[in-house]
Chain A
């Protein structure tokens, strides 16, 4: 018998020899593809395996473990998260038992980024036919090499014509990666293209179509993700008109544009964007851009000519309007006639009905952000439109060879030319007949491939001055001189710079003036302010799936206010007397509002199809001396690929400082803080194809700290509901949608007071609309609306004010206890377009309430409120317009 030490040496040599033999056999496999053929390994029971020489001598039959189940290893998420998107290889030594199971797995050379863990997990999941010696299973070790290849990406998009939005088949799309390798494809009949199997990185995209100016752009694509252009495309470039097929000649718009650009999911739970064609063609709106918002889900039908935006049961003053991030004070001429921005100057409207991003603040309701057009650069364009109310012109094009492009527009009403004499004939004294105008100007230049500078100016002015010589029977003293003048202008600068692959900087600054001048008899309100607003955002991509946005959003507004007015009544209570004869309060104030806001938002896409956006906003209001701290979060997750289904949710706190008059030393109260709303949203979006999508959203808003005149921050409220939308996005012929909203809006002015329906509660709102191109330049659209009636507080026989000679009604308690009858109306719009050698001429006829339904808009009372009658909304009302495009 050999001494033990020699036995150990022997065993060691045997093991070494066996290992070398196995390595020599297995080496070619390692050099090839993964997983490699398992190399030989000796059983731990050294001595039970013979040496090669011994084996050869004894001729034992040995077989190595053979994989029978190998699902491989996925490219680790950690690596993608860390921005590592390169191929990798990890070698793992596994121990295979006599049953073929893996009992141990050890990484030979760890490389991190999650590859090691992924390899071990994949190895442990493998199953083998065990090694055998002379036909009997034996335990064995073997080595597995896992090769990781980063997931490939997909780029796809649509190539469309401008204006007509018609697809361009046969367009050539060429992608070139950083190494210069090119991939090409052509668009199908729908103008769609798709290239699979792309490695992550930046691609230069070139789109060319016969007769059209090629367009080039860069697009980043991440591993395993699909950048697509299933959303509508914005116009980018125009080319010479091309000949159209026979039969279509003379009916189509001549300008053709192509664009390829994907669109990220929104930061918000609900973001709705209206496109030019929809804005232009929605019946009943007269082609007015902002009126088109009233057809979206969540938006209630406003009182006629009120110009109010009532969204998800919120008060109109809880919603805010921006033009490219700059707040504007009024939206409509004369409270609702037409928007102060003509449709032709609007590129898009982003509408956030609630739970919006932290980039917006100081509002509890909705946000409307209107984007002005980017001026066209290919040649000069002009447009003129006239209707029965106003006329407008738009011109745009390049500014010589400076690289700058411009767009200018102006509009003026001419109702004063005929309404003035009519009013005079009716007995009114007319100093200034109703007149309005607005203007817009934009100049833009691309400073580099990734930066642009834009200057814009826009404004609006409305005036009216009349003298009413007669009072009414119910309000005999309400007569006299009445004048209103409201106007504003803004000068705006916007600079956008993509500082690098991962960084973008955007700043918008504006300065302007607002004027509100109201006078009635000896009472009046005169406000002039000079708002300075600024908004800056730095967007930094920290990792492939994490982008942080940091921004500032501030307003500084010096103002002069003179007012002689009766005190503001408390909500739900009648005024203490007739308006004109209450003892007026006077104030003359030179002061300022300073409301800086800071925000951050983190856009994380932690996994495929998921998006998680937590954010935080910090606002200060100098007039209240208080800070507001608003955390918000939204979440989206694609759950099904076809139809593409996304679930989404959001929650957040939204603070809104008191209105300026509420903190005024004379008319308001001291010690107020911001109104607050806790908003919760859940919803599902379906995208059935490139044109049809649907969504359903539930919302719940809990309001507190609401400012109640005469009480303080005592008000509370509750708003909840559901909004649905089935939408067919514009294609060659048709667009339309069905929107339905079910909601409830409740308020309590102060503890102990009744919980009552809000004035803005509108239980059911159904809108069905569509527009179809019939061919030969004809387009026919229709809109049907069915909504609940407005809330109102009935008046009853009450008291007689002997000082004025006017009855004072007794208002029913609690307020808003009754509802007007159901509203329904059908609106029709017909458009006809002629293509002429020198341009395009189009005409439209927009008929509101075509079956002349006597919809109820309000209640009127006789002089002592003992008899009532309904007042009706607009009767059948045609609107006719002509438009010329050059």
Chain B
């Protein structure tokens, strides 16, 4: 039919124009235009990952004692683990890099190499975080047991680190690890800046590595860090086995408006789907899940699991339940120029995926987003009949603030929901 063809053509032209606009945006560098076929970044099932980091004071003051906490996950596949059975470690590099040229992290690398003496704050066996996700509501994240020795003497600025154990999980999937380290902010760090309020900048580096670290021969690229992750046989490991993390801390003189910066608060999880501990649908399904577990901010744990429907091969279409972090408006702080923060949430899981792996919560100018949640997409069918997993929701603001929540995941038959 003619109208059908016209409509089709119109839709096609619309799609083409959108593609053109996106392409233009790609050219401008605004978006990454990843074609389908890449692994979903939200699926933590293909290597060592760092998912989040948070500093007790996103904007510190000279002389402050701040703690940096990092959430890392050993998400290697079985094959990858068989190739290199060493467990993941999170190493902190001793260097505290202050005010590098152009604020560039890679300008710290010569100092990092010259001071190379990594230490672990989580040395030893993962802690007893047991996730019995088979029983809704029974996931207990005992993340408060440091079991590692910290070589505080390795760095004069270290206040000691603590390792929160990785989870000895009963479900297949990733092994999380939370590691913290203390940093003393030097005095006299603040320097004048053209076009900006005077500030100081600290860089702290860590490396999640399923092996040990070694210096490499320096290469021609000045932006490369000549440190490698090696297995016990001395073989340098690939990207699936290590992540080099970069944390920066801005330092301001106290009292100014720029210093008003706190980590965002995750008040609860927004999801209409939840079951009673016995798996039954409650009379009044709660709209939220509490996040009162874990160490407390920034490392939180959901009080109850997130239940999602199993998606079976013959199901036709599957439900995709909503999930999101509830961040109160009080977290939407304003920067020195009066513009609000941008706050967004990232979503990770060991099982399935999301309709969007990153969702905006607050826009600097538009404020709170009306429908900020994402939708969980269960795997169809679940690989190896695995029905339990973990979800991490990491909330960031654009001034370095962050908090996260670990959410047990349970896939249940749709009839249960």
Contact = CB atoms under 8 A, between A and B. Distances in A.
Interface of A: 303-306, 334-337, 388-389, 415, 418-419, 422-423, 426, 429, 434, 467-482, 519-522, 564, 567, 570, 573-574, 576-577, 580-587, 665-667, 710, 797-805, 808, 810-813, 857-858, 860-864, 866-867, 869, 871, 874, 877
Given A336-B24, A521-B364, A666-B195, A803 B32 contact: no
A469 B248 contact: no
Nearest to B395: A805
A481 B360 CA distance: 10
B102 A570 contact: yes
22 contacts: A335-B24, A335-B28, A337-B20, A423-B18, A468-B360, A469-B369, A471-B357, A476-B357, A479-B358, A481-B366, A521-B342, A522-B335, A567-B103, A576-B102, A577-B248, A585-B195, A665-B194, A800-B50, A802-B247, A860-B33, A862-B34, A863-B34
Contact of A469 (B28, B34, B40, B359): B359
How big is the B interface, by class?
Answer: 35 or more
B400 A581 contact: yes
Contact of B245 (A429, A482, A521, A802): A802
Contact of B41 (A473, A520, A666, A803): A473
Nearest to A473: B41
A480 B372 CA distance: 11
Given A471-B358, A804-B396, A863-B38, A418 B31 contact: no
B111 interface: no
B27 A305 contact: yes
A877 B16 contact: yes
8 nearest interchain CB pairs? A802-B53, A666-B195, A585-B195, A471-B358, A476-B358, A473-B41, A863-B41, A522-B364
Nearest to A666: B195
A469 B14 contact: no
Contacts of B230: none
A871 B344 contact: no
Given A521-B363, A573-B104, A477 B358 contact: yes
B104 A800 contact: no
B196 A479 contact: no
Contacts of A580: 342, 398
A272 to B, nearest CB: 27
Contact of B105 (A521, A570, A576, A864): A576
Contacts of A419: 14, 17-18
A857 B52 CA distance: 34
Interface stretch (B152-160, B165-173, B219-227, B299-307): B219-227
A869 B34 contact: yes
Nearest to B338: A522
A431 to B, nearest CB: 9
A77 to B, nearest CB: 57
B380 to A, nearest CB: 20
B181 interface: no
B364 A798 contact: no
Contact of A813 (B34, B222, B244, B360): B222
A667 B195 contact: yes
A857 B365 CA distance: 34
Given A474-B32, A586-B195, A522 B103 contact: no
Nearest to B21: A434
A479 B32 CA distance: 12
Nearest to B20: A305
Nearest to A710: B102
Contact of B103 (A574, A582, A858): A582
Contacts, number: 236
Given A306-B27, A576-B104, 15 more contacts: A335-B27, A429-B366, A469-B360, A473-B38, A475-B32, A581-B399, A583-B250, A799-B244, A810-B221, A810-B223, A813-B224, A860-B32, A860-B35, A862-B41, A871-B23
Given A477-B398, A802-B50, A862-B39, A471 B195 contact: no
A811 B199 contact: no
B272 to A, nearest CB: 19
Interface string B3-38: 000000010011011101101101110111111011
Given A521-B363, A862-B34, A800 B195 contact: no
B10 A418 contact: yes
Nearest to A580: B398
Contacts of B396: 476-477, 803-805
A422 B12 CA distance: 11
Contacts of B247: 802-803
Contacts of A861: 32, 34
Given A472-B358, A667-B195, A871-B26, A480 B364 contact: yes
B61 interface: no
Contacts of A574: 106, 223
Interface string B282-316: 00000000000000000000000000000000000
Given A800-B245, A866-B239, A305 B398 contact: no
B31 A470 contact: no
B51 interface: yes
B70 interface: yes
B243 interface: yes
Interface in B305-361: 335, 337, 339-342, 344, 346, 356-360
Contacts of A810: 221, 223-224
A476 B363 contact: no
A877 B246 CA distance: 44
A301 to B, nearest CB: 13
A877 to B, nearest CB: 6
B407 interface: no
A813 B220 contact: yes
B411 interface: no
Contacts of A866: 239
Contacts of A800: 50, 243-246
Nearest to A421: B14
B128 to A, nearest CB: 26
Contacts of B106: 573-574
B239 A864 contact: yes
Nearest to B38: A862
Contacts of A804: 396, 398
A857 B22 CA distance: 13
A415 B13 CA distance: 10
B304 to A, nearest CB: 25
B42 interface: yes
Contacts of B358: 470-473, 476-477, 479
Q: Which of B34, B339, B372 has the most CB of A within 10 A?
A: B34
A808 B106 CA distance: 11
A574 B42 CA distance: 25
Contacts of A877: 16
B228 to A, nearest CB: 12
